[in-house]
Structure formats: C-alpha cells, structure tokens
Amino acid sequence: MKILGNEEDPRIYRFTTAGSEAPAHFCVINDTHVKWEPFGLAINKIATLAPQCVIWNGDTSNVEETIEAQTRIFLKPEIERADYAAETPYLFCPGNHDSRGMANRHLEKVWMYRQPEERASRDWDLGRNFAVRMGEVALIGLDTAEDKLDTNPLFAGLFNSAAYREAQVTWLNDALQRPEIASAPYLVAFCHIPLFESNPRYNPGDVAPADKDPQYTHDFAMWQRTCAQLWCPLLEKAGCQLIITAHQHQYRYDAPTQERCWAQIIGGGPEMGFSGSGENRRERPELFPTVIEGRVVNGKLLVQIHNLVSGKVQDSFEFTRR
C-alpha cells in the first residue's frame, strides 16, 4: 500500500560543519533583498567554488510579516538550484532589514538560532552570534542590528538595539578567548553594517534623537560608530585581520592603517550595473553583486571578490598569520 503525499524524497544530501579539521574555505553573500537574479548568480557561483561554508551577511529580506514570505526567501527561493543550502552549511549575520516585520522578529521559526546549550545563560538572547573554527580560520559573527536609533519615532519603541549591541561585548570577549578561536592563525569577523567609514558625510548611526542632521547625507546609519567603539578594541587586541561587512550596496576595500590593524571589505548590493528604473534608469558599472571568497593557500589567507555582473575576479588580497 502507498499513501500519497507521504513519499520519502530519494535524494540524500550531507555536509560537514565547520571545525578545526575542516578546509579553510568560506564564501560571503549579502544584501540579497529578495532579488532573484543576483541571488541566483551568487548561488551558482558558490556551487562552482564549493566552499566549506557560506556566511549570509544580512539583508536577506525587506520587511517580512509572514512565515510564508520567509519560507520563500530561505527555504524555497525562486532560483534554479533548489539544493542551494543542502550540501553547504550557511551561517547568518542579520542585517537591519532582517529585524523588520512581525515574522522577522521571530526569525528563529525558519532559521535555527544558536542553541542554548552552546553558551552561558547570560548569552541566550544572542542566538544570532557565532564563533566557529574552520581549519586555520576563526569566524566571528556579530549583529549590528537596526540602522536607526531606538529613539527614532519611525519605530515607535519597537527596538532595543543599544542594549543588544552592548550585550555582545561580553560574549565577544569570552568567544575570542576560547582555545579554538584564540589559536587560529586567522581571525575574520562578519557584520552587516560597516565598522569604519572615511567619508565624513556618511551618518555614523549615533545622531540623536532621530538620526537626522544636515551634515550627513542620510537619515540612517551608513556605518556603525557605536559598534566600532564597543567591539573593535577587542577584535584589535585579538589580532583580527579582516572584517567583512555589507549594507552600503557598493563593493569597497579599506586597507589597514597604523590606527586600525584590520582591513574592511564591504560587499556589493543587488544592483546589476544599473540604478533607478524607467526614465531614471542609468548605467552604474560600479554597482554589482559580489561573492567574497576566502581560503588559505600556501599558508596565507587569500580573499577574492567575485563580480557577478562581469563574471570576473574584481580584486584579490592576501593576509598573513596573526
């Protein structure tokens, strides 16, 4: 007897989670914003590169109010490869949009958070943070939270991002001292909103009470000065070589300086070489989605930025052991 609707799928998928014995090879995507063309290109590129894990660095969504909308994004995306996360584990660093909407405030219903037994009870609210070892690389995931202040009337008191960012300080301090993290030759951190910005016109995210000031070009955080002040001293003390961020929708590389020991890479957004629409549509070749690939080759961490519009490697960087 065969009961229709209860058939078992004959396909078998498997993957190995990150660990000290795993190959040091990761990829990063970001700011996919439910745009299926760039997302599909990113997933196809990842399938070709075959990394050990992928970090989805925020703004997977826009404003999601239903579980069905989240399922469409995370579990059944409208792309060719239905097995996109079946044989490669994904780690998640939320973006500001990933907290917006009723369903997104309970994202754990479709995207499993870190389990309580993995951490002290003090840190149970930090289910989106991660600190994992992958071969020679330690991967640290942080959550920059909203790009607007808690006091901004647009959110009507819905968010408590300030306390949330501060709570991550103690967790980060402990995570960096864990033996498998402290002993890694390479330390790479990930978060959605950048932690460094050289443009003085870009809003640093701490403009009280409502993010507006005529000296800045935007009324939301283009970078996160508060998070930088909270987290970067710990990352610098630990010898972090690289922080990979997103949010600004344009690829950029910021080299280390005497004042800042880590480099910053900002991933590109979902724009496919154009901005605007209709009569306002114009060519913008500097706007392209990226897959950022990192792997240890001959004892050095090689990071390559794959331009998904041109299909070429946009940039390559090497990092030495800390």
pLDDT digits (tens, 9 = 90+) for 54-102: 999 999 999 999 999 999 999 999 999 878 888 899 999 999 999 999 9
Q: Which two tokens stand for residue 252?
A: 């950029």
- Residue 61 contacts residue 94 (beta carbons within 8 Å): no
Q: Which of 305, 307, 301 is nearest to 293 (CA)?
A: 305
Least confident segment among 7-16, 179-188, 261-270? 7-16
- Residue 251 contacts residue 314 (beta carbons within 8 Å): yes
| DSSP structure class, residue 167 | H
Other Cβ atoms within 10 Å of 80 Cβ, number? 11
Would strands 242-245 and 186-190 be described as parallel, antiparallel, or unpaired? parallel
Residues 6+ apart with CB under 8 A from 170: 122, 123
pTM: 0.94
- What does the pLDDT read at residue 36? 97
* All domains of the chain in start order, with CATH: 25-319 (3.60.21.10)
Q: How many angstroms separate the CA atoms of 168 and 179, rounded?
A: 19
| DSSP structure class, residue 69 | H
Tens-place pLDDT, residues 171-221:
999 999 999 999 999 999 999 999 999 999 999 999 999 999 999 999 999
- Whether omega for the bond prior to residue 179 falls within 30 degrees of 0, making it cis, is no
- What does the pLDDT read at residue 291? 98
Least confident segment among 10-14, 20-24, 153-157? 10-14
State the average pLDDT for the chain: 93
Residue with tokens 């800045």: 216
pLDDT at 7 over 60: yes
Tens-place pLDDT, residues 145-173:
999 999 999 988 889 999 999 999 999 99
Q: How many angstroms separate the CA atoms of 124 and 319, rounded?
A: 33
